Structure 1
Amino acid sequence: MSAQDFGFPFKPYGIQEDFMKELYNVLDQGKIGIFESPTGTGKSLSLLCGSLRWLYDQERVSAQITTAERKEAAADEPDWLKEYTVQHEQKTQQSERQLRRQELQERIDRARKREQSERRNKSAWIARQHVKKTKTAQEQGNPNDSEDSEFLLDEYDSDDTSNADGRKKPSSAKSESQSNLSADVQELLRRLDTQNTLTSSSTSEKVDTMQEDNDEVDELKIFFTSRTHSQLSQFIREVQKTNYADSLHSVGLSSRKNLCINKDVQKLNSVHRINEQCLELQKKSSGKRCECLPTVSEKGRLLDFRDHALAKVRDIEELVDVGKSLNTCPYYGTRKTIKPAQLVTLPYQHLLHKTTRESLGISLKNNIVIIDEAHNLIDTINSIHTITIHSKQMRTALSQLSQYLQRYKARLLGKNIVYIKQIIMIVKSMIKFMESTIQHGKTSNKSKEKILNINEFVHELGIDHLNMFKIEKYLKESKLARKLNGFLDMKKKKDAQDKLNNPEHEAENDPSVSSIPILNQIEALLMALTNADKDGRIIAACENDDEYIQYMLLNPANEFKAIVEETRSVVLAGGTMEPMSDFLTHLFPYVEKDRIHKFSCGHIIPEENLQVLTVGTGPTGQKLIYNFEHRSDTKLIDQTGQIIANLCNVIPDGVVCFFASYPYMEQVYQRWSHAESGNILDRISKKKKIFREPRAANMVDATLRDYALQIDTGESGAILFCVVNGKMSEGINFSDRLGRAVIMVGLPFANLASAALVEKIKYVKEHANAQGASGDAGKEYYENLCMRAVNQSIGRAIRHKNDFATVLLLDERYDTTRIQNKLPGWIRESVYECKNFGQVMSRTASFFRDKRQQ
């Protein structure tokens, strides 16, 4: 298969052709692929062309298989009957699937022509924004009973006293409590219950569109996800370069925050408030519906949005423009566009969080999932499913729930009061548990940190008699959090109005009336308590008088398993995926080894454009070991300063230097500023202007701008001190003159004093032993955590085919085979172990001297 076959827009390099072929085979065989391709090697285009070629081929293969199956089924029939049967079935199939496709394509073509025509006359395109408001978008009447009745919960009965549709069912002899069942049985019951809930509690929105959705062709599709909105936009720009752009049906998914076009809602700062206000404006009782969201009788507007969205490959900003031009909500419009789309781009959260996938109507069944920037996938899954609640939030939630219950107690029906009281009891128990844990730590002078299994935590709270699965279901179905937040908003507005009408009246200064959706956090924690006991831990801790309870996910494999099982193929791709062993151990332990395919390619740069040196000794011969025991030694810090000062004499333009942490970078900087160090900062600043990575995120852009300006206009260049895993270790391109050298000071091992890390390592060891694995799995995990951070940092330098740079790894441990094997292949191949610092200087000087002569 040649490059032309893949529709690559340029003449590809050999590694790009290899990448596309390997990717095509992985998708064709339904495997899991782990692909490593350094930044600057055209990874995005290779991913696109390889996967889209496979997607287009599948349509042709599917049609051929269908025809062959029909002929085989009619093998014993006369020829004239065979021909008639095949022709008749082909026509029937066309009338069902192909005809719908044809109709959709005709609508898309018309939308294209309208855009082309209207854009010739820009005023006509803008005029489309002023769509006439329908009567149904106006006020929908008054609240039923009182000003706050809309926040009253509907009647609720627990799942063993009512059917899925809410009707009473015959009482059962079974006890409501299932707490005596085993964890595995409870997990199975929970899954079945969740499936029933999702089936039975469809929203009116789903009901309204059900018939219409059934008429849609659900295309075979690729779900492409990346970490940030900007990375997805960049990916869409790559799609637009390919030969597939004109015929590809693509849509991008994002949050309401990015897609909302209602000006009043956009003004809200909180993402949660935007979501709540959007849902509120869909209620008839809210007084006014959002004019951007079509009513049942205006479904044509959503279809128009779908047609225009598919008319060309667009990024999120362009989809927002389409929504504004049609006065149609892009958030719900993009959801309507998922089924007929062949390529769906979406951020990590939308794909990796099961509840979010279900709410968006995403079906992964037999489709393809490609996860870009997948080096941090495991950490992302852990982060998404880790919940932290602070003691102040618990007390606020308790106050809010108590106020709500007091206000509506006489009007709540069914088992609402029972469940709200249970939730209040759980919150009180958590507060009491936190107070006793921290107090015990103070009086016994022990660590103010406690780690428990889920079952231990539930037992210590004294809530093991409650059925957490039923409480989880109640919170989902009753939408208590949303009702509570609406009630609090109303209370806050009422207090403000009272104060305005009566200046002498002191409005109730109630800290519980907060814009923070606290009950949602409580709900997330309670749902986490229904997870398998072995998959997570509860941490109760106090840091700087800030008390909190945290659920920490230990097993990301279980959360990712549903994606692997539903899809035809999953592809993880990144610039630096090493160490790959972590993915096999912690993400795919249940997958057959022959189903996992690993691919790692070299860089497109000539080998002479990259120099990687290990530096184990300083100018005076002192060994460099930046472990916790030695790194604060002033002699080692001074030796490090001399190394960097000497290197700045021979390295041109920009130097990026990474330290293990902010505190260590500050410690080193302060030492170098003293005369006792030999005025190291003065020596460095004579050659390079010094910049430091700021702690404040809003200062990063300004620092980078000043750093780049100094290199462009200054004679000697600049040096930037950064932190591993900081704001500049990922996503920042130090290409060309911005990064002629990357210096890594030590190995950034995580702090083993962290109880969370200790518990994770303990879990990894236990899991490995249960699987019968050999070796020290805990040590492997700990090293991999460190080296993944190193690889991300040193990958900042070489960013395109003509770039060149040197990488200097300061620590004698970089000379070990074990550590070097965890470097990316393209870096590992260029490693040179320097025996002394003289070799470091001579090789660095000659490297840049050769580049100046070229």
Structure 2
Amino acid sequence: MAIPEQDFGFPFTPYPIQEDFMKSLYNVLDQGKVGIFESPTGTGKSLSLLCGSLKWLYDQDRVSVAVPVTNATEDNDEPDWLKEYTIDHRQKKQQTHRDERRKELQNRIERARKREQMERNSTASWSRRQQYKKSRSNESQSNLDADEMEYVLDEYDSDNAVDNSKSQKANSDLNLSAEVLQLMKKMENVDDATHSDNDNRWDSTVLEEEDVDELKIYFASRTHSQLSQFIREAQKTAYAEDLHLIGLSSRKNLCINKDVQKLGSVHRINEQCLELQKKGTEKRCEYLPPLSERSRLLDFRDHALASVKDIEDLVTVGKKLHTCPYYGTRQTIKPAQLVTLPYQHLLHKATRESLGISLKNNIVIIDEAHNLIDTINAIHTITISIKQLETASSQLSQYLERYKSRLLGKNIVYIKQIMTIVKAMIKVLVTSERANKISAKEQISNVNEFVHDLGIDHLNMFKIQAYLEKSKLSRKLNGFLDMKKRKAQQLTETNDKDDDSKQSVSSIPVLNQIEAFLMALTNADKDGRIIRGTNTYGAYVQYMLLNPANEFKEIVEDARSVVLAGGTMEPIGDFLTHLFPYVNKDRISKFSCGHIIPKENLQVLTVASGPSGMKLTYNYESRSDSKLIDQTGQILANLCNVIPDGVVCFFASYPYMETVYKRWSTAEGGNILQRIEKKKKVFQEPREANMVDNTLRDYALHIDNGSSGALLLCVVNGKMSEGINFSDRLGRAVVMVGLPFANLASASLKEKIKYVKEHAVVENSEIDAGREYYENLCMRSVNQSIGRAIRHRNDFATVILLDDRYNTPRIKKKLPGWFRESVSECQNFGQVMSKTSTFFRERR
């Protein structure tokens, strides 16, 4: 790969903002900084991230990096010159060894590439022959009837008749044509002529020695589809041909064992996968090679790295090689240069360790990072119901009763301690449930207070944590329960032998959840809170993480550089205050760029009053006022008269949207819906996730069929506020009804704000950290929602913000920078209609 020193390998001529983005990213990585990058959707953010980071990675390969010396001499009596000579000699030896291992791997990958290319050529050749035969058949169709067509000979090529039974047998599983097998034989002869006899033992040498752990980039995003899109972008770059990329995913996405896949649940798939690996298992998973056949995993590695492959491509490779892609991808992490993975795989320490992910001195890039703080909090917040605790207590009792005579060491002691904790939690929750029936309030306590209430101060939680991790009690318990249920079914059932439920009858292992909760109790007292309350399912206890910085700190300290990127990262202050308070300011670099669209293609209007002059303030106390709801309906009805195609309108919550919709449907509400539907068909975001795709499809079809358009009512932080592309005609306008502030009555939110006030470090002492956090929580949601409209260079849209508070400087400065440049304050609704009409008239 020959890329000029000043060229980032961008697939087309980059825009100036893309050039600036890549240069800034390169510098952040080169200087080992923490970077926060904001680049609006549609500006080529993914390509800029790829090309800027891969250029830096590629340049590191040009520089000779000193290899750490292992087993250095400890003889202090030796002279300095001899020590230096020894160290230098070992460095050179280790570097030579690394170079040889790299060369061996590259040779294997080259062979895999050639095999893949031959398969593609074979497939293309077969397709051309079939097309030719079909055309010949069509030409003679008038002369031959269907019965006669059956006897037409297939094309015959005497060169295809290869009489080599050994070759045919060895390659029978490849399903390749004879000419391709011949070509492969020729290539193997060439390889044999250029390599020593020892090269025939590739597998044994690779098995004996570990792969070189390459300097690499870990790229994380929220969803499987976002990672797939990123990989497709990687295929466009100048680095694609030689890039060693591997995508990590869950067993649910990578498992190719049909019996395991059809279990559906992630937890059941994981448990069954582990079950099929146990010693003595009657039916071991056929796709996971035993140690004697681990060369199959290495073959998978070679093919996985031979070209840039998506998760679906890796599944295909696994099926061809009859090898598990889940474990195959794990085998491929070390030699990879770019590793893509979901948030959870990166942000959860136990998951990182189980996958063998080492961030030490590597690069971490987190895309769609606007919700990173909330994601970290959610991953480390654990809720357990009283029913789960009762189930766990019963299960542990059964397990102990069955195996107490067989358990060795301190197993019984620790199991009894865990049972004591579980029973104590049940007792405390029963008391809380009774109290909550009277007060209906959540109880908040510190971790130490909760442990004291349970009466388990005398137990060493760190030792219990270590026992749970090492003994894998939850897995053993779940397997025991599965076995009991299967035996019970065998005794009572004679029919439905093929029932899938018999494969594995457990759902989410209850003890896993309790184990995670107990481990959370070992965190620093100030970093979390315990919430006790009741809901429709009964009493529950929750560990709520308050300090995401500590959970993220290890990533920042291990990695050479950490980059957070997103389309809208404002308000950026939250990242500095709540995620990087321990990072030196000089190490943090911020980059924000405008959009590639012409400035005149975006119009942002803040609206303080409605058609009747009524002030628009959608706070919690006034937003349900019927007059305000009617005024909002009139605003939308008027806007729908002048805005073409699709209009997307966001409300603060599902209940509020449903209240508004119901009011607009009545005569008392002025039959607003009837007025709107004279111009645009009205759709509502459904609560059910499985209905979202149908709603979006119907909305898009109605716009595409040449009608005057449609209005889609959505919810902030709902299923359509992130990841949905309302480009072009699907979103000519986004209307935001009010500011979606979270409910301050929430005990957990109050506790979070209290924590921020006590612990947040802010530059300006006059800033109320709690209020700042509360406002930022709201504006992050607003920014994600309004960013749904403008998606590419030639797109255009208007964004209309309904609430007089959008005119305040505090709120306005929290909008994305590229939005702020286009904001116009409208003193009355007449200005809104005039500006909107002119905006779309100029773009006809």
TM-score band by shorter chain is: 0.7 to 0.9
1:310 alignment partner AA? L
Cα distance in 2 between the residues matched to 1:326 and 1:718:
49
Structure 1 counterpart SS, 2:668? helix
Cα distance in 1 between the residues matched to 2:87 and 2:744:
69
Cα distance in 2 between the residues matched to 1:762 and 1:459:
23
Cα distance in 2 between the residues matched to 1:576 and 1:594:
23
**Aligned pair 1:378/2:373, yes or no?**
yes
Out of 408, 411, 418, the residue aligned to residue 406 of structure 2 is: 411
Structure 1 counterpart SS, 2:784? helix
Aligned pairs for 1:510-529 (under 5 A) are: 514-529=506-521
Change (3 A) 1:58 1:213: farther
Cα distance in 2 between the residues matched to 1:336 and 1:280:
20
Change (3 A) 1:449 1:803: same
**Aligned pair 1:390/2:385, yes or no?**
yes
After superposition, what is the alpha-carbon deviation per residue over 1:635-658, rounded to whole angstroms, capped at 9, x for unaligned? 111111111100001000000000
Out of 7, 12, 15, the residue aligned to residue 13 of structure 1 is: 15
Aligned pairs for 1:478-489 (under 5 A) are: 478-489=471-482
Other-structure match for 2:655: 663
2:24 alignment partner AA? E
Other-structure match for 1:745: 737
After superposition, what is the alpha-carbon deviation per residue over 1:713-732, rounded to whole angstroms, capped at 9, x for unaligned? 14210000000000000000
Other-structure match for 1:179: none
Cα distance in 2 between the residues matched to 1:322 and 1:95:
32
Q: 1:212: Cα distance to partner?
A: 4.4
**Aligned pair 1:815/2:817, yes or no?**
no
Change (3 A) 1:85 1:457: closer
Aligned pairs for 1:205-220 (under 5 A) are: 212=207, 215-220=210-215
Aligned pairs for 1:35-184 (under 5 A) are: 35-62=37-64, 92=93, 95-121=96-122, 128=173
Out of 445, 458, 465, the residue aligned to residue 458 of structure 2 is: 465
1:128 alignment partner AA? D
Out of 826, 836, 844, the residue aligned to residue 834 of structure 1 is: 826
Contact 1:438 1:448 in 2 (8 A): no
Change (3 A) 1:739 1:542: same
Higher mean C-alpha deviation, range 289-298 or range 335-344: 289-298
2:473 alignment partner AA? L
1:461 alignment partner AA? L
Other-structure match for 1:291: 286
Aligned pairs for 1:216-227 (under 5 A) are: 216-227=211-222
Structure 1 counterpart SS, 2:532? strand
Q: 1:129: Cα distance to partner?
A: 7.3
Change (3 A) 1:738 1:2: farther
After superposition, what is the alpha-carbon deviation per residue over 1:223-276, rounded to whole angstroms, capped at 9, x for unaligned? 001000010000000000000000111111111111111121112122111111
Cα distance in 1 between the residues matched to 2:37 and 2:204:
39
Cα distance in 1 between the residues matched to 2:579 and 2:238:
35
Cα distance in 1 between the residues matched to 2:672 and 2:762:
52
Structure 2 counterpart SS, 1:284? coil
2:721 alignment partner AA? S
Other-structure match for 1:194: none
Contact 1:129 1:327 in 2 (8 A): no
Change (3 A) 1:363 1:572: same
1:325 alignment partner AA? K
Other-structure match for 1:153: none
1:351 alignment partner AA? L
Number of residue pairs aligned between Structure 1 and Structure 2: 749
- Following TM superposition, the consecutive aligned residue runs of length 4 or more in structure 1 with deviations greater than 4 angstroms are 1-4, 63-66, 84-94, 122-127, 208-214, 769-773
Q: 1:209: Cα distance to partner?
A: 12
Contact 1:613 1:809 in 2 (8 A): yes
1:279 alignment partner AA? L
Contact 1:129 1:324 in 2 (8 A): no
Contact 1:616 1:812 in 2 (8 A): yes
Contact 2:603 2:799 in 1 (8 A): yes
Aligned pairs for 1:534-683 (under 5 A) are: 534-683=526-675
After superposition, what is the alpha-carbon deviation per residue over 1:336-378, rounded to whole angstroms, capped at 9, x for unaligned? 1111110000000110000000011111000000000000101
**Aligned pair 1:429/2:424, yes or no?**
yes
Cα distance in 1 between the residues matched to 2:95 and 2:657:
67
Change (3 A) 1:412 1:513: farther
Q: 1:514: Cα distance to partner?
A: 4.5
Change (3 A) 1:666 1:623: same
Aligned pairs for 1:291-310 (under 5 A) are: 291-310=286-305
Structure 2 counterpart SS, 1:224? strand
Change (3 A) 1:129 1:386: farther
Cα distance in 1 between the residues matched to 2:547 and 2:204:
37
Change (3 A) 1:529 1:14: same
Cα distance in 2 between the residues matched to 1:675 and 1:256:
54
Q: 1:449: Cα distance to partner?
A: 1.3
Structure 2 counterpart SS, 1:378? helix
Other-structure match for 2:159: none
Q: 1:98: Cα distance to partner?
A: 1.2
Contact 2:67 2:95 in 1 (8 A): no
Where structure 1 has 5 or more consecutive residues not aligned to the other structure, the ranges are 67-83, 131-207, 504-511
Contact 2:433 2:538 in 1 (8 A): no
Higher mean C-alpha deviation, range 761-770 or range 471-480: 761-770
Change (3 A) 1:464 1:209: farther
After superposition, what is the alpha-carbon deviation per residue over 1:290-333, rounded to whole angstroms, capped at 9, x for unaligned? 12111111121111111111100101110111111111111111
Cα distance in 1 between the residues matched to 2:495 and 2:285:
32
Out of 252, 257, 260, the residue aligned to residue 252 of structure 2 is: 257
Cα distance in 2 between the residues matched to 1:628 and 1:489:
49
Cα distance in 1 between the residues matched to 2:410 and 2:6:
65
**Aligned pair 1:799/2:791, yes or no?**
yes
Q: 1:516: Cα distance to partner?
A: 2.7
After superposition, what is the alpha-carbon deviation per residue over 1:630-683, rounded to whole angstroms, capped at 9, x for unaligned? 101111111111111000010000000000000000111111111112211111
Q: 1:61: Cα distance to partner?
A: 2.1
Structure 2 counterpart SS, 1:286? coil
Contact 2:736 2:802 in 1 (8 A): yes
Q: 1:545: Cα distance to partner?
A: 4.8
Change (3 A) 1:528 1:63: closer
Cα distance in 1 between the residues matched to 2:531 and 2:551:
20
Other-structure match for 1:328: 323
Cα distance in 2 between the residues matched to 1:619 and 1:247:
61
Higher mean C-alpha deviation, range 109-118 or range 614-623: 109-118
Change (3 A) 1:294 1:834: same
Cα distance in 1 between the residues matched to 2:540 and 2:785:
32
Cα distance in 2 between the residues matched to 1:812 and 1:416:
64
Change (3 A) 1:331 1:639: same
Aligned pairs for 1:332-351 (under 5 A) are: 332-351=327-346
Structure 1 length normalisation: TM-score? Answer: 0.85
Cα distance in 2 between the residues matched to 1:604 and 1:769:
35
Change (3 A) 1:2 1:579: farther
Change (3 A) 1:845 1:469: same
Other-structure match for 2:151: none
Cα distance in 1 between the residues matched to 2:471 and 2:324:
26
Where structure 2 has 5 or more consecutive residues not aligned to the other structure, the ranges are 69-84, 127-167, 176-202, 497-503
RMSD across aligned positions (CA): 2.5
Cα distance in 1 between the residues matched to 2:477 and 2:587:
48
Contact 1:128 1:327 in 2 (8 A): no
Change (3 A) 1:601 1:426: same
Cα distance in 1 between the residues matched to 2:775 and 2:5:
39
Contact 1:747 1:811 in 2 (8 A): yes
2:567 alignment partner AA? G
Cα distance in 2 between the residues matched to 1:775 and 1:85:
59
Out of 775, 781, 784, the residue aligned to residue 783 of structure 1 is: 775
Cα distance in 2 between the residues matched to 1:741 and 1:785:
24
Other-structure match for 2:191: none
